[in-house]
Amino acid sequence: MTDFPWLTTIILFPIAASLFIPFLPEKNGLWERWYALIIGLIDFALIVYAFVTQYDFANPGLQLVEKYSWVPQLDLNWSVGVDGIAMPLVILTGFMTTLATLAAWPVTFKPKLFYFLILAMYGGQIAVFAVQDMLLFFLVWELELVPVYLLLSIWGGKKRLYAATKFILYTAGGSLFILLAALSMAFYGDTITFDMQSLALKDYALNFELLMYAGFLIAYGVKLPIFPLHTWLPDAHGEATAPVHMLLAGILLKMGGYALIRMNAGMLPDAHAYFAPVLVILGVVNIVYAALTAFAQRSLKRKIAYSSISHMGFVLIGIGSFTDLGMSGALLQMVSHGLIGASLFFLVGATYDRTHTLMLDEMGGVGQKMKKIFAMWTTCSMASLALPGMSGFVAEVMVFIGFATSDAYNSTFKVVVVFLAAVGVILTPIYLLSNLREIFYGKENQELVSHQVLQDAEPREVFIVACLLIPIIGIGLYPKILTQMYDATAQQLTARLRESVPTLVESGQIARKDISTTFRAPMIAER
């Protein structure tokens, strides 16, 4: 327990501050912008201060722990804490939401409601990564969906209601599996508890654990997103505004990966031994399918949206690798993609503000008119295609090597997975460089140029992209900046996952068979 309630303050401060927005003076959104930005900066400063002064890299367990009784009869508490898995994502949330607030500067339509939702969402997103009570997790997971739905349905594009409705149906439908699994696990056995650490220590029957794992996989697979539960994402990105893009790509997708690691792998390790090969295969499908689908997209937003789906496939492979390096790569990929995806979607919004079109067929040759935007697009695209020296390269290499050196799978399976994933990596630069060519190179679209004043990037836009590129390049050049935050926790988790497999083999619950013939035998390397 900490002497000061750091996490409670960090979660509730932006939510409480949002309640004062309706009382701000009316001045075309000016007061709301500055108020939201200042609140975001203060909360981000609190996050950084708590991390620097209170967080111990060498401690793999929960830190900054707070626990206050809520419903004692059910052992339901306001319970928060962070470890190496959660802390980097809390920092990412504060950083990304503050930049998204700055990216929303041009918003003048219903500014009070817009910035109220942004600040409310700020606290809700941090709560998802910090809470340590399953029922409380479900509540904040659900509450976080409401601001996203409203931000899509009110400030989105022409098909905003369709995209927002599809988003809420998919995500809320998946959330039902979280509630059912949480209640089932809480009432399992002789004690009733929603505390995550207590739930992880219960001795579940294997069939029950497999059923819970499958339910969580569906729920978090929607948010990650995993094929074929991904179809809401291109529609949502296709209609969202730039700041909402940044929050979707930078934070919301990471909730799915975080929950898979925290609950599926961390709380249900025996079931993970069965499902890990499935995660690896789904990861490969994500990488290749989404990369191929990106080629066919003529809308700039949808192309980058499918690129996001492809990159999140590496997270699944890392989670299923059973190696420290693979798990570390998955965590690094989540943070890296959050930064890179947000930068690309912000540039999509900046480009649309000038060209008033998202269709690549209507662009072309605008590089001479928008040189700064051209330079930023090129740099961020290089980061997305995993150019050495940038964070994406380090994360993907860690996942590749981590999986390739795993003793949990036979050589044939590893070769096939690595080969197919490498195909996806090769496809990525092809469609991203083609994207740059169609927007900035070639002959100018005279109809576009004659009707639009193609102004270059303003200082605010350059500042936002620079803020995203600094950690992208910094992590790429010196990954230890990030990996030291979670190495102890990731190694502890991987060790626990590896311990569960020999136990299952010895008990006869997993046959030592070739993984190429059954998904139920993940640990098959010849020993």
For 159-180, how does the pLDDT look when each residue is reduced to its tens digit (9 = 90+)?
A: 899 999 999 999 999 999 999 9
pLDDT for res 450 = 58
The distance of Cα 352 from the centroid of its chain, to the nearest Å, equals 24
Q: Which of 70-79, 179-188, 242-251 has the lowest mean pLDDT?
A: 70-79
Biggest CA–CA distance in the chain, Å, is: 74
Classify residue 168: in a domain, yes or no.
yes
Classify residue 514: in a domain, yes or no.
no
Mean pLDDT of 22-41: 90
Q: Is the pLDDT of residue 502 over 60?
A: no
pLDDT for res 446 = 66
Mean pLDDT of 269-295: 93
pLDDT for res 2 = 53
pLDDT for res 514 = 38
pLDDT for res 448 = 65
Alpha carbon separation from 322 to 334, 342, 405, 523 (Å, rounded): 18, 29, 10, 9
Closest by alpha carbon to 249, among 386, 391, 42, 92?
Answer: 92
pLDDT for res 522 = 40
Q: Is the pLDDT of residue 422 over 80?
A: yes
What radius of gyration do the chain's Cα atoms show?
Answer: 23
pLDDT for res 449 = 60
Label residue 511 by pLDDT band (50, 70, 90): very low
Label residue 483 by pLDDT band (50, 70, 90): very high
pLDDT digits (tens, 9 = 90+) for 360-372: 888 888 888 888 9
Mean pLDDT of 280-306: 92
Backbone angles phi, psi at 64, to 5 degrees: 55, 40
Mean pLDDT of 329-350: 94
Residue 460, classified by CB atoms within 10 Å of its CB into exposed (0-12), middle (13-18) or buried (19+), is exposed
CA distance 442 to 445: 9
DSSP classification of residue 64: E
pLDDT for res 355 = 84
The distance of Cα 29 from the centroid of its chain, to the nearest Å, equals 30
Neighbours of 200 (CB within 10 A): 16
Mean pLDDT of 74-81: 85
Q: Is the pLDDT of residue 26 over 90?
A: no
Q: What is the pTM of this model?
A: 0.92
Q: Is the pLDDT of residue 527 over 80?
A: no
Classify residue 1: in a domain, yes or no.
no
Going 316 to 318 to 321 to 322, the CA torsion angle's sign is negative
pLDDT for res 148 = 92
pLDDT for res 504 = 47
Closest by alpha carbon to 429, among 365, 378, 380, 384?
Answer: 384
pLDDT digits (tens, 9 = 90+) for 294-320: 988 889 999 999 999 999 999 999 999
Label residue 443 by pLDDT band (50, 70, 90): confident
Backbone angles phi, psi at 401, to 5 degrees: -70, -40
pLDDT > 70: percent of the chain: 93
Classify residue 516: in a domain, yes or no.
no
Alpha carbon separation from 24 to 31, 111, 116, 270 (Å, rounded): 7, 11, 11, 53
Q: Is the pLDDT of residue 423 over 80?
A: yes
SS3 for 225-241, per residue?
A: CCCCCCCHHHHHHHHCC
Label residue 517 by pLDDT band (50, 70, 90): very low
Q: Is the pLDDT of residue 512 over 60?
A: no
Closest by alpha carbon to 392, among 335, 349, 431, 458?
Answer: 335
Mean pLDDT of 411-419: 92
Classify residue 368: in a domain, yes or no.
yes
Q: Mean pLDDT score of the chain, rounded to an integer?
A: 88
Q: Which of 236-240, 469-473, 521-525 has the lowest mean pLDDT?
A: 521-525
Label residue 69 by pLDDT band (50, 70, 90): confident
Per DSSP (E only), the strands in 126-264 are none
Classify residue 286: in a domain, yes or no.
yes
Q: Is the pLDDT of residue 471 over 90?
A: yes
Q: Is the pLDDT of residue 125 over 80?
A: yes
Classify residue 513: in a domain, yes or no.
no
Classify residue 207: in a domain, yes or no.
yes
CA distance 402 to 330: 10
Residue 143, classified by CB atoms within 10 Å of its CB into exposed (0-12), middle (13-18) or buried (19+), is middle
Q: Is the pLDDT of residue 277 over 90?
A: yes
Comparing 464 with 510, the larger pLDDT belongs to 464
CA distance 12 to 458: 34
Q: Provide the residue range defining the domain that includes 256.
A: 6-506
CA distance 329 to 395: 5
The distance of Cα 477 from the centroid of its chain, to the nearest Å, equals 22
Neighbours of 16 (CB within 10 A): 14
Q: Map tokens 């890990």 to a residue.
A: 276
pLDDT digits (tens, 9 = 90+) for 196-255: 999 999 989 999 999 999 999 999 999 989 988 989 999 998 888 889 989 998 899 899
CA distance 274 to 510: 8
Residue type for position 178: I
Q: Please give the tally of structural domains in the chain.
A: 1
Label residue 324 by pLDDT band (50, 70, 90): very high
Alpha carbon separation from 326 to 23, 31, 257, 495, 504 (Å, rounded): 49, 46, 14, 13, 22
Closest by alpha carbon to 139, among 124, 126, 150?
Answer: 124
Comparing 354 with 378, the larger pLDDT belongs to 378
Label residue 452 by pLDDT band (50, 70, 90): low
- Are the beta carbons of 423 and 288 closer than 8 angstroms? yes
Would you give the end-to-end CA distance of the chain in angstroms? 44
Mean pLDDT of 36-65: 94
pLDDT for res 485 = 92
pLDDT for res 402 = 94
